[in-house]
DNA sequence: TCCTTCGCGAGAGTATACTCTCATGAACAT
DNA sequence: ATGTTCATGAGAGTATACTCTCGCGAAGGA
């Protein structure tokens, strides 16, 4: 019965909010039947405004605070915290909302069946996306690394992208298999695919990018190129062993 | 011979220890040879006690706070901050102090010239060391990722270890070349070595370990094994192209 | 012995992230 | 029309990391 419950979920996807269509009668009063459209819509608008403000600010590449987002969204800080348990959750959703689907991200190589080429494209895409939102991504990493329990909620774009890039390798439904431990396929392929995905999950990451730029002192372009090289090297090595 | 010097420095551009600038020629005690040994020793003991306490607490694997360290070291929190500009600096030094040299860490494979074997050992060593100090390492990453400017000071164990593991590959002084862009050697070797080092710097890391355990949900042992696989795969691939 | 220096503790102060409570007024039900 | 629900704003409160200031008291010089 709390505000929290009504707005419900906070994970990816904000289409679940309204339990009844916006339509109904005019937002005014008097229309019988389902009258609570006004409040539900209001909450939806508030929530959307907050996420939008966070998304816009994230694109500056700077760090972003909750008061800043709230004031940009024309709500109070308290309200922002009513919709999101913490800054990290909000940033997560704001970032996830800006992500194209894995298929869209790999559109440029949609015609290619070469995993190496596709992995290179995925790496480039992910890292440039991260780079443009550095401040927020850094804050997200900082928040999740000290609270591993809640880290599961971090956007799985990385994994989706990798799956999508390696789709040509998976017979059919393998790419959609999250666990990825392979099945009754009988071949050694699934295990190798799983391992390759783990290899790439480590490499195609914001953490890898920041390691190279911050600790190793590389400039962003060089770092992206280096990680691209690492990712394709791993892919080629896996292909060599599993033709 | 200022008190500053005696207590020792630890990173770039921080001389915050005292507010006093013990001032070379203060009128009073010009001579005295080693008269001020008492105070200098006292400061050294205090500093050592703080680092020791931090090191011990770090080995619990938990997170550690400055008040906790201070009380374990029997000093006030203010004193701890007099010796270290922030918690991260102290943790950094405490962790670095527990590190064996790269050579010692790779003692088990000292007799081997096989880079693959040596890289596997380095990976295993680094990740187990990190795992045993999870809480502190996580806090360090969180602190440095939001302040890239000061990240340079993070312990370079990773790089030293990698250099040491790849020592058999480097003709002579190449392993000691930080920039590593290769020189007038004429061959393609140095560039490939540099790239391999970057590959491994991304993979043999605490960030990689936490990515797999936190985001991918792997248990620590599986994660370590996976990263070991990734690292050796990269090493083998590099060897294949540069015999 | 007397006086200065200075390492240190204690406590107040700041910044950021987040929580809690309460009052307001619009939306809604009756 | 009237009473209830509830989204919201405002502001105080908490926790952690860190800073600043004051003053004590012992180390050390003369």
pLDDT by 10s per residue, chain A, length 243: 333 333 333 333 333 333 322 322 233 333 333 445 778 888 999 999 999 999 999 999 999 999 999 999 999 999 999 999 999 999 999 999 998 999 999 999 999 999 999 999 999 999 999 999 999 999 999 999 998 877 666 667 788 999 999 999 886 444 444 444 444 444 456 899 999 999 999 999 999 999 999 999 999 999 999 999 999 999 999 999 876
**Which B residues 10-29 have CB within 7 Å of strand C?**
18, 20, 22-23, 26-28
More confident residue, A11 or B164: B164
Judged by CB atoms closer than 8 Å, whether chains meet at B234 and A236 is answered as no
Q: Say yes or no to pLDDT of B4 above 70.
A: no
Could you say which of B141, B226, B237 has the minimum Cβ distance to residue A198? B226
Element housing B202 (H / E) = helix B189-203
- Judged by C1' against the alpha carbon of B78, the nearest nucleotide is C9
Nearest CA in chain B to A208: B202
CA atoms of A63 and A65, how far apart (whole Å): 7
- DSSP notation for B41-77: HHHHHHHHHHHHHHHHHHTT-S---HHHHHHHTTS-H
List the structure tokens of A231. 């990712």
Backbone phi and psi for residue A100, each to the nearest 5 degrees, phi listed first: -70, 165
Q: Which of A145, A45, A43, A151 lies closest to A89, judged by CA?
A: A151
List the structure tokens of A137. 């991504």
Amino acid A190: pLDDT: 85
Q: Say yes or no to pLDDT of B34 above 50.
A: no
Amino acid A154: pLDDT: 65
Amino acid B39: pLDDT: 80
Question: Which pLDDT band holds residue B155 (cuts at 50, 70, 90)?
Answer: low
Give, in Å, how far the C1' of C13 lies from the CA of B214. 38
Amino acid B30: pLDDT: 34
pTM above 0.75, yes or no: yes
Give, in Å, how far the C1' of D5 lies from the CA of A217. 57
């Amino acid at each position: 019965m709390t505000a929290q419950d009504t707005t419900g979920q906070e994970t990816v996807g904000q289409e679940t909010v309204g339990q009844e269509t916006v339509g109904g009668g005019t937002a005014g009063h008097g229309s019988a039947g389902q009258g609570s459209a006004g409040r539900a819509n209001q909450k939806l608008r508030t929530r959307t405004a907050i996420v939008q403000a966070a998304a816009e600010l994230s694109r500056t590449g700077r760090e972003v605070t909750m008061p800043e987002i709230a004031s940009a969204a024309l709500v109070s800080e308290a309200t922002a915290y009513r919709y999101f348990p913490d800054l990290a959750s909000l940033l997560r959703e704001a970032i996830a909302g800006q992500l194209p689907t894995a298929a869209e991200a790999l559109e440029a190589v949609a015609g290619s069946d070469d995993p190496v080429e596709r992995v290179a494209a995925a790496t480039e895409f992910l890292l440039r996306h991260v780079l443009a939102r550095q401040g927020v991504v850094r804050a997200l990493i900082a928040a999740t690394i000290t609270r591993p329990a809640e880290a599961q909620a971090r956007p799985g774009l990385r994994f989706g992208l990798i799956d999508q890039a390696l789709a040509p390798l998976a017979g059919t439904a393998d790419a959609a298999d999250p666990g990825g431990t392979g099945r009754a396929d009988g071949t050694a392929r699934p295990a190798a695919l799983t391992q390759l995905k783990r290899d790439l999950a480590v490499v195609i990451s914001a953490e890898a990018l920041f390691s190279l730029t911050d600790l190793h002192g590389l400039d962003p372009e060089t770092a992206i190129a280096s990680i691209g090289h690492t990712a394709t090297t791993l892919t080629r090595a896996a292909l060599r062993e599993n033709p």
